[in-house]
Amino acid sequence: MRPKRIPVNSVVPAVLTPFNKQMEVDYDEFGRHIQDVCSVDGITAIMVNGASMEDNTLTRDEKMVLIEKAIDASGGKTPIIAAVRESETESDLGVLSRDAEEANAEAILIMPPNDKVYTTVNGALERFGKVFDGCDLPVAFYQVNPDGGGYPVETMIALAKQERVFAVKEGSGSPETSEIDMRAMRAADSEIAIWSTHSRWLLGDLAMGADGILSGMGSISADLHVALCRAVWASDLKQARKVSDVLYRLTQVFYRPGQNGHTRMKYALKCLNRMANDLVRPPLKQLDDQEKSRVDRILGDLRSEIMN
* Domains located in the chain, CATH noted: 11-236 (3.20.20.70)
Q: Name the band, by pLDDT with cuts 50, 70 and 90, for residue 221.
A: very high
What angle do the packed helices 27-38 and 60-73 form, to 10 degrees? 40
Q: What's the chain's average pLDDT? A: 95
Over range 180-187, report the average pLDDT.
Answer: 94
User: What separation, in Å, do the N-terminal and C-terminal C-alpha atoms of the chain show?
Assistant: 34
Three-point CA angle 55, 57, 63, nearest 5°: 55
3-class DSSP assignment, residue 11? strand
Look at residue 130 and tell me whether its pLDDT is greater than 60: yes
| Cβ atoms < 10 Å from Cβ of 212 | 28
What value does the mean pLDDT take over residues 64-69?
Answer: 98
* Tally of CB atoms within 10 A around 64: 20
Q: Is the pLDDT of residue 308 over 50?
A: no
Q: What is the pTM of this model?
A: 0.96
Residue 90 is predicted with a pLDDT of 86
Share above pLDDT 70 across residues of the chain, in percent, rounded to a whole number: 98
Burial of 304 (0-12, 13-18, 19+ CB in 10 A): exposed
pLDDT band, very low/low/confident/very high, at 224 (cuts 50, 70, 90): very high
CA distance 265 to 275: 10
Question: Are the C-beta atoms of 128 and 158 separated by less than 8 Å?
Answer: no
pLDDT in tens, 145-174: 988 889 999 999 999 999 999 999 999 999
Tell me the pLDDT band of 279, cut-offs 50, 70 and 90.
very high
The answer to whether residue 208 scores a pLDDT higher than 70 is yes
β-sheet bridge partners, residue 212: 195
- State the pLDDT at residue 89: 82
How far is it, in rounded angstroms, from Cα 107 to Cα 216?
17
* Of 240, 216, 237, residue with least CA distance to 226: 240
Rounded to an integer, the average pLDDT of 52-62 is 96
pLDDT, mean of residues 104-120 = 96
The DSSP annotation for 176-207 comes to HHHHHHHHHHHHH-TT-EEEE--GGGHHHHHH
